[in-house]
Amino acid sequence: MNLLFRRSLCALIIIIVCVSLGGCGLRQQAREVEQLLVIETLGFDRSAQGVRLSMASSSSSGTDGQPRRLQGEAASVTAAIECIRASISEEELFCPHVGHLLVGEAAARRGLAPLLDYITRAGELRLSVPIYVLREREACEAVLRVGNAQHGICDALRSVDSDLRTRGDGHTVSAAELMRDLARRGSALLCAVELQPSSENDQSAGADEPPLTVVAAGYAVCRDGRLIGYLDREQAIAVGLLCGQSGLCEIVVNDQAGLPVTLHLTGGSTALHPSWDAQGELISLELQIEVQAQIREDAAGATELYYLRGMLERTLAEQVRQVLCLSKQWEADFLGLEEQLSLRASERLGAMEPGFAERWASLPVTVSVSATLTGLGDTEGGA
Amino acid sequence: MKAQDRFSLNQLLALCSMLVLTPALRLLPGASARLAGRAGWLSVLTALPFVAAYAAFLWHFQSLRLSDETLPSLWQRALGARVGALTLAAAALWLLFYAGFTLRAGAERLVTTVFPLASRRTLPLPLALIAAVAGAGEARRLCRVAKLVLPLLIGTILLTLAFSLPELHKANLLPLGLRAFPRVLRGSLPTFDAAALALSCLFFLSDGLTAPGRRSSVFIRIALLGILMSLLVAAVIGALGHELAGSLTRPYFTLVRTLVFFYSLERIEALIVALWLFADFLLLATLMLIARRCLAPLWKRPADSPWLKLLCGALPPLLAVLLAPEAEAYAQLSRQIVPAVNLVVCLLMIPGVYVVGRLRKRL
C-alpha cells in the first residue's frame, strides 16, 4: 500500500467520521430562503393554558408578498412556537430574524419573566430586539388585526421604531437594556404603543371598519419584571430630558390671548446637583434643565418671546415634576438617577446607608427649567 | 529534539496567542463581569503585570537548559529522574484532562450556538480525531498553522469590536472609583488563568526554538493581547451591562448575535463560532503533543512512539464523552474546578520544580 493511498484512506475516514458523528450534516436539512416563513414580529400574551404567541411575517417574506399572521397557545413560549410550527405546512417557521416583540398589557402586568428567560436561554432571538407594551389590549389583537392585505404589524412597528429614533418623546428599549435595567435599578422603561384606527383610506379592503395601526404612546414602567404603570407622551418628553435622550418633539403652549403656539424642542440636557450634609448624607437633589426650542406655529404672531419662554419653562417643569412624583410613588428609579449621580459622586453614594433606592421616595427634589428660543422659524412675524 | 522540528520565537508566540483565545473567550467576559462588575475591562489590564512576571519566571527557568537539553530533561534534572518522570506524568495527565475538557466545552459551544440537534457526546469525537492527527505530528507544523490562522481570528475580534461600538453605553463601563479596586484585582484572576496555560505551553515547547530569542518579544505580545482582550471585555460589558454579561455562559458570542453589519448582514454568530474551531484544534493538538513528550520519560519510550500517540489522542475524547453530562456539573467544572486546578498546576507545580531544583543545586 503506497503512502498516497494510505493518506487518502485516512482523509476519507476522517471526513466520513466528521460528517456522520457531528450531527450537523445529516440531521439538519438545508432549506431555501423561499421555503422559510421569516417571522419579524412576535406577540406575547398570557392565556389559561400558559402562553399565547402571535406571529407576523413582513410583506416581503413568503411567496405571495402578503404578511402572514399566526397564533398558538401552549404552556410555554417554546411549546407555543412548536404549536404554531406544526400548524403550517407549506413553509418552515423561521424566528431568528424577529425584529419586534409586542407584549400585551395583561401579560406585562403578570410578568415578563417567561419571555426574557426564553430570549436568554434559547438563543434563537437576539438580545437587541426591541420590546413594546401594547396599552390596554392583548398583543395578538395588534399582530393579527393591524394593517391590511399588503401591510401588517411589522411595517407599523418599523415605522414607530424609525420615528422614535429622532424624537424626544419616546425611545425603544431592547431586551438586553430591559434586563440590564431590571438587574441594576429594579425597574425599567419600555416603549408603549397603542392600537388606533389608521388614517389611511383603505379602499381595497372594502370593509366598514378602517384598518388599525399602532402608534407610540409614551413609556411603560416595569418594576421587578412586571408592568406597574404608564407615562404618557407628554411625560415622555420629560423622561427624554432627564435620561439624556432628548430629541425633536413638539410642545403646545398658550400665548397671552389664550391661543395655541406650537414650539419645537430641538435639544436639552439635565444637570444633577446633589446636596450633602456634614455626615455625608444626601439631603436633597436639584435638577437644572436646559432646553432649546423653535417657534413652529404662531398664527397670531404677536406673542412676546419672554412670555412664550416662561410658558415653556413652566410646562416642562410641571411635566418633569409629574414624572418624578410617579417615580417616587412607585418607588422605582426608572430614570436611572442613581447611576447619573454615581458618575459625579460614586464614593459618597456607595457609602450611604441606607442607599439611594430606600431614600428616593422621601428625598426632596427641586426642578428648574431654563429655555432658549433659538429660532423663530422662516419668518420674522406672523402670517 | 529533532533538527527539523525547530521553530522561531515569533512562530511559538503566534501559537501561544492562539492557545490563549479559547480559554480567554470561555472565561473572560463573563467571569470578569461577575468578579469586577463594570470594571471588568480594567481587570484584564490589571492582570498584565502578574502575567508578565510569570512569563519572566518561565523564561528564566527554560533558559537554564543545557545546550540541546529538552524541557522534560531539565525537569528531571531538577527533581531527579524518578520523581521528575512521575511529576511530568502528573502534568501530562492534567494537560490531557484539560484537552478533554476543551473538547467538551467546544462541543457545548457548537451545540448551543449553531447545531442544536447535534449530540454533546458524539460531537467531540470528530473534533478530537482531527486534533489527534495534528497532535501526533511536529510542533513546528502547529506553529506554522497558528501563524496563518492568528490574523484571521484577531481580525474577526477587531471587526466585531468595531461593529459593537454603536451598542456601547457609557453607564455600563463608568464610573470607576477606588472602592472598586479590590474587585478589579479579584477580576484579574480569570485573565491570569487563561494566560498561564498558554505561557506554560510556551515553556514546555521552548526547547524547540531555533534561537533563544528576545524576552521583550514575549512581553510585547502579552501587552498587545492584553489590550485586545481588555477591549473585548469592554465591548461585551459596555453593550450588555455587567449584570447581564455575568449571567450569560458565552457573552461574547451573545454580543456577536446582536450585531448588524452594514445595515444588512446579521446573525453571523455561526460563522464566528466555527472560526473558533481553529483555536480549539490548535489548543487540543498542542496539549496532546506536550502530554506525549511529558509521558515519554515514565513510559521509557521516545515521544513519537505510536502507543504514546494513541494514548494521548484517545484519552481526551474519552474524557470529553464521560465528563460532566449534567449542565450543572459542566458549569461547576468550567467556572470553578478547571480554572482552580490550572492555577495550582501553573503557580505551584512549575515554580515548585524550580525551587526544588535550586535547593538541590541542580539548576
Do the Cβ atoms of B177 and A350 come within 8 Å? yes
Name which of A180, A339, A347 is nearest B179 (Cβ-Cβ).
A347
**Contact present, B199 and B16 (Cβ < 8 Å):** yes
Q: Which residue in A112, A114, A34 sits closest to A81, CA to CA? A: A114
- Cα–Cα distance list, B67 to B43, B63, B160, B212, B356 (Å): 39, 10, 45, 11, 21
Region label for B6, one of left (φ > 0), alpha (ψ between -120 and 50) or beta (otherwise): beta
pTM across the whole model: 0.87
**Alpha-helical runs (H) found in B137-268:** 139-164, 170-173, 181-205, 215-240, 242-247, 251-258
Residues of B in contact with A179 (CB under 8 A): 241, 243-244
Q: What superfamily would CATH give domain B9-320? A: Amino acid/polyamine transporter I (1.20.1740.10)
Coil, helix or strand at residue B67: coil
In whole angstroms, give the CA distance from residue A123 to residue A177: 16
In whole angstroms, give the CA distance from residue B209 to residue B1: 10
AA letter at B57: F
Domain residue limits, chain A: 36-231, 233-378
Put simply, the chain A residues between 234 and 293 with a CB less than 8 A from any chain B CB are none
AA letter at B51: V
Name which of A23, A126, A180 is nearest B241 (Cβ-Cβ).
A180
- Cα–Cα distance list, A229 to A7, A106, A185, A286, B136 (Å): 70, 12, 16, 25, 65
Cβ of residue A121 closer than 8 Å to a chain B Cβ = no
Name which of A14, A96, A123 is nearest B130 (Cβ-Cβ).
A14
Residues 6+ apart with CB under 8 A from B202: B12, B13, B16, B55, B58, B218
Residues 6+ apart with CB under 8 A from A280: A348, A351, A352
Residue B259: what are its φ and ψ, rounded to 5°?
A: -80, 145
Coil, helix or strand at residue B255: helix
DSSP B283-315: HHHHHHHHHHHHHHHHHTS-TT-HHHHHHHHHH
In whole angstroms, give the CA distance from residue A316 to residue A337: 18
DSSP A26-92: SSS----GGGEEEEEEEEEEE-SSSEEEEEEE-TTSSSSSS--EEEEEESSHHHHHHHHHHH--SSE
Residues of A in contact with B258 (CB under 8 A): 126-128, 176
- pLDDT (tens digit per residue) in A268-318: 889 999 998 888 888 899 999 999 888 877 766 666 778 888 989 999 999
In whole angstroms, give the CA distance from residue A88 to residue A83: 9
For residues A70-75, average pLDDT? 93
Residues of B in contact with A97 (CB under 8 A): 266-267
Question: What is the residue-averaged pLDDT of chain A?
Answer: 84
Residue A285: what are its φ and ψ, rounded to 5°?
A: -135, 130
Put simply, the chain A residues between 318 and 377 with a CB less than 8 A from any chain B CB are 336, 339, 342-343, 346-347, 350
**Contact present, A180 and A323 (Cβ < 8 Å):** no
Helix axes B139-164, B215-240, angle to 10 degrees: 40
CB pairs under 8 A between A and B: 89
Do the Cβ atoms of A126 and B239 come within 8 Å? no
For residues A57-73, average pLDDT? 78
pLDDT of the residue at B265:
81
Question: Looking at the domain covering A233-378, what would its CATH class be?
Answer: alpha beta
- Measure CA of the first residue to CA of the last residue in chain A; give whole Å: 99
Would you state the cell numbers that stand for residue A309, as one nine-digit string? 419662554
Mutate to test the interface with B, among A121, A128, A165, A245 (most CBs of B within 10 A): A128
pLDDT of the residue at B218:
93
Coil, helix or strand at residue A302: coil
How confident is the prediction along chain B (363 residues), in pLDDT tens digits per residue? 666 678 999 999 999 999 999 999 988 899 999 999 999 999 999 999 999 999 999 999 999 988 888 899 999 999 999 999 999 999 999 999 999 999 999 988 888 887 777 778 888 888 888 888 888 888 999 999 999 999 999 999 999 999 999 889 888 888 787 778 899 999 999 999 999 999 999 999 998 888 877 889 999 999 999 999 999 999 999 999 999 999 998 899 999 988 888 877 888 888 888 888 889 999 999 999 999 999 998 888 888 888 999 999 999 999 998 888 888 888 899 989 999 999 999 999 999 999 999 999 887
Do the Cβ atoms of B267 and A28 come within 8 Å? no
**Contact present, A370 and A289 (Cβ < 8 Å):** yes
**Contact present, A190 and A178 (Cβ < 8 Å):** yes
ipTM associated with this complex = 0.82
Q: Which of A52-56, A230-234, A378-382, B207-211 has the lowest mean pLDDT?
A: A378-382
**Contact present, A26 and B122 (Cβ < 8 Å):** no
pLDDT of the residue at A89:
78
User: A241: burial class by Cβ within 10 Å (0-12, 13-18, 19+)?
Assistant: buried
**Contact present, B294 and B143 (Cβ < 8 Å):** no
Q: Are strands A212-223 and A187-197 parallel, antiparallel or unpaired?
A: antiparallel
pLDDT of the residue at A330:
92
Helix (H) and strand (E) counts in chain A: 11, 14
Instruction: Give the other-Cβ count within 10 Å of B321's Cβ.
Output: 20
Mutate to test the interface with A, among B167, B168, B170, B244 (most CBs of A within 10 A): B244
- pLDDT (tens digit per residue) in A187-225: 999 999 999 988 776 555 555 677 889 999 999 999 999
- Measure CA of the first residue to CA of the last residue in chain B; give whole Å: 20
In whole angstroms, give the CA distance from residue A277 to residue B87: 63
pLDDT of the residue at A27:
47
Instruction: Give the other-Cβ count within 10 Å of A262's Cβ.
Output: 15
**Contact present, A100 and A94 (Cβ < 8 Å):** no
For residues A25-34, average pLDDT? 61
Cβ of residue A206 closer than 8 Å to a chain B Cβ = no
